[in-house]
Amino acid sequence: MRANSPIAGGWRGAFESWCGDWKERSLSHAFIRRNYQSTTLCDQCGQCGAIQPFKRTSPHLMPMIYTDFRLDAPWTTTLRDHQAYLAETPRDQQTPWVDVPGFDLSRVRWDSAHIILLGTGKDVAASFLVDLVARKKMY
């Protein structure tokens, strides 16, 4: 009801970005067939064709494996921008966030608290501490 009206002493709210972990990204944005548990796992803003292989993954998809980090990896030719996403995704399968003024898939961000602190960060910190203890024992 207060959309486009001044709030909090004249300040206005605006959409900057959306952050979440992998599970919340797939739920909130309706990334039903493009998420961390699917063969086509890339839900990034470009929504590329990178795949995660499973036992039943078709052999013709294997060149698109996400662990291919070469600059000319086959999946790099499948990157899509926001407009391509809108054009290629049926309206009922698009993220409901497209109705928010200013939303663009490039504004879907990773939640660093989940990705770093609860993800790789704990492993890196543990390795660092083990190395630090080992070094202290040397002196």
Residue 91 domain boundaries: 18-110
Q: What is the pLDDT of residues 64-81, one digit of tens each?
A: 998 899 999 999 888 888
Do 114 and 21 meet the contact criterion of CB atoms below 8 Å apart? yes
Question: Is residue 134 a part of any domain in this protein?
Answer: no
Question: Is residue 34 a part of any domain in this protein?
Answer: yes
- What's residue 139's pLDDT? 61
Mean pLDDT across the chain: 81
Going by the DSSP 8-state scheme, the letter that residue 110 receives in this structure is: E
Question: Is residue 36 a part of any domain in this protein?
Answer: yes
Considering its fold, how many domains does the chain have in total? 1
Question: Is residue 138 a part of any domain in this protein?
Answer: no
Q: What is the pLDDT of residues 36-64, one digit of tens each?
A: 777 887 766 446 788 889 888 889 989 99
Question: Is residue 31 a part of any domain in this protein?
Answer: yes
Question: Is residue 3 a part of any domain in this protein?
Answer: no
- What's residue 64's pLDDT? 92
Least confident of 4-8, 34-38, 42-46, 86-90: 42-46
- What's residue 138's pLDDT? 64
Task: Give me the half-sphere count of Cα atoms (radius 13 Å) on the Cβ side of residue 21.
Answer: 8
Helix/strand/coil (H/E/C) assignment for every residue in 11-76: ECCCCCCEEECHHHHHHHCCCCCCCCCCCECCCCCCCCCCECCCCCCCHHHHHHECCCCCCCCHHH
Question: Is residue 70 a part of any domain in this protein?
Answer: yes
Do 5 and 19 meet the contact criterion of CB atoms below 8 Å apart? no
